[in-house]
Amino acid sequence: MKDLLSWDQTLFKDSELFELDHVPEHFLHRDAQMQSLMFSIRPAFSGARPLNCLCSGPPGTGKTTAVTKIIEEIENHTSKVVPVLVNCQVDSTRYAVFSRVFRKLMGYAPPTSGVSFKKIFGEVAKHIAEEEKVLVVVLDDMNYLFYENEVNDVLYSLLRAHEIHPGARVGVIAVLSETGVPHILDRKVESVFLPDEISFPSYTLEETRDILSNRVKLGFYPDVVDSDVLDRIAGYTHSLGDLRVGIDLLKRAGLNAERHARKKISVEDVESAYEKSRLVHLSYVIRSLKKDEKVLLGLVADMQEATSGDLYEKFHSMTNLGYTRFYEMLNKLGAVSLLDADFTGKGSRGRSRIVTLRYGADEVRKRL
């Protein structure tokens, strides 16, 4: 009986550490990126315009955590620099972005109707110029501004604010998830944006294990997770390249162990939790796909297994898009771990490919 949990015991010392939006106090293996961000922001502390930044890397590599910690750092240091975090998945138009900025500066939201963008923009520029504040706008998940064709208008408006109100100083930190497709800005925007590029590569297996080990130490009571269990979770997490999978897996495996009144998490607890946890990655990536990419993914789900040639014929008849675009999308869906596309050695120059889903067709359809 002593090996079983009693009904009022728990394995979790601090369950908050296993929530996906938790910002860790110890942010491991991202020192270089944090230093680059701080260097870019530094001019703002003496009243100058900061350098613009572009943080890019695959999903689940610490970009949002990094900018959240930078915002904390700024707010603890001075009230003369005003950082505004904009979630572009929620605020995906120029009007919505500037409404979010207006709310942070003024302490109240602008009217929801009857007010032009020009008016809100003018108020924002005037306020920071007159109050001698430096505005730092963090565009998290900027991919969504590309999908809505709003990105050039948003950046251009932010970066030319000083032309409307001399003395208005604005810097932009853009956070972009690399999904295998290049994102191109207008030339006129490129010429004023000129960001310092800060790369967030996928964590190595060792780094992944180290980060998850730290969560285990702080979030569970001692001896709940053995090293073989941690190795299994780190391996699964690394294969999908998304740290969120591992954090969710620790939580679900812990709950599985509690359900069976065990004082330790077993490999079986991990295995039965993995099917649900790997869907964290699936849900996140599908949300970030464009319409035509979703059409292609849906076709693969319906066909189960197809040659790239058959798939292209169906895709072309539905979208009228050419082979080059199809080929780019196929590579992208492979790069974000949704598909496998293996060369068969057949077809012209052996380039024919068999395309299969890495997830259950039903799970994919449900999320589409």
Of 183, 158, 155, 154, nearest to 168 (Cα)?
158
Predicted local confidence at residue 240, as pLDDT: 87
Res. 56: pLDDT tops 90? yes
Looking at every residue in the chain, the average pLDDT score rounds to 91
Q: How far apart are CA 153 and CA 145, in angstroms?
A: 9
- CATH at residue 254: 1.10.8.60
pLDDT by residue (tens digit) across 193-206? 999 999 999 999 99
- Determine, yes or no, domain membership for 192: yes
- Determine, yes or no, domain membership for 137: yes
Residue length of the chain: 368
Q: What is the domain count for the chain? A: 3
Res. 210: pLDDT tops 90? yes
DSSP assignment of 84-107 equals EEEETTT--SHHHHHHHHHHHHHS
Which pair of tokens denotes residue 34? 């944090």
Q: How far apart are CA 298 and CA 329, in angstroms?
A: 13
- Determine, yes or no, domain membership for 172: yes
Tell whether 280 and 177 lie within a shared domain: no
Residues contacting 311, CB < 8 A, separation 6+: 296, 299, 300, 303, 326, 330, 355
What phi and psi values does residue 63 have, to the nearest 5 degrees? -65, -50
Residues contacting 51, CB < 8 A, separation 6+: 39, 40, 41, 43, 171, 195, 196
Tell whether 333 and 243 lie within a shared domain: no
Tell whether 299 and 282 lie within a shared domain: no
When pLDDT is averaged across residues 291-318 and rounded to a whole number, the result is 90
CA atoms within 13 A on the CB side of 300: 27
Predicted local confidence at residue 350, as pLDDT: 46
pLDDT-based confidence at residue 1 (cuts at 50, 70, 90): very low
Of 203, 136, 138, 145, nearest to 175 (Cα)?
138
Tell whether 156 and 145 lie within a shared domain: yes
- 18-to-244, 248, 298, 323 alpha-carbon distances in Å: 9, 6, 32, 43
Q: DSSP character for 4?
A: B
Q: Where are the alpha helices (DSSP H) in the chain?
A: 31-45, 63-77, 94-106, 117-130, 143-147, 151-159, 161-164, 187-193, 205-219, 227-240, 243-259, 267-287, 291-303, 308-319, 323-335, 361-367
- CATH at residue 137: 3.40.50.300
When pLDDT is averaged across residues 155-159 and rounded to a whole number, the result is 96
Tell whether 132 and 235 lie within a shared domain: no
Strand partners, 341: 355
Q: Which of 262, 286, 310 is the last residue of a domain?
A: 286
Q: Are the C-beta atoms of residues 145 and 139 closer than 8 Å to each other? A: yes
Q: Are the C-beta atoms of residues 59 and 288 closer than 8 Å to each other? A: yes
Predicted local confidence at residue 179, as pLDDT: 64
Res. 85: pLDDT tops 60? yes
Tell whether 63 and 194 lie within a shared domain: yes
Q: How far apart are CA 238 and CA 246, in angstroms?
A: 8
Res. 219: pLDDT tops 60? yes
Q: Which of 260, 286, 312 is the last residue of a domain?
A: 286
pLDDT by residue (tens digit) across 88-139? 988 989 999 999 999 999 999 998 778 899 999 999 999 999 999 999 999 9
Q: Which of 253, 286, 319 is the last residue of a domain?
A: 286
pLDDT by residue (tens digit) across 19-44? 999 999 999 999 999 999 999 999 99
Q: Please report, to the nearest 10 degrees, the dihedral formed by the alpha carbons of residues 160, 174, 48, 116 taken in order.
A: 40
Enclosing domain of residue 306: 289-367
Tell whether 71 and 138 lie within a shared domain: yes
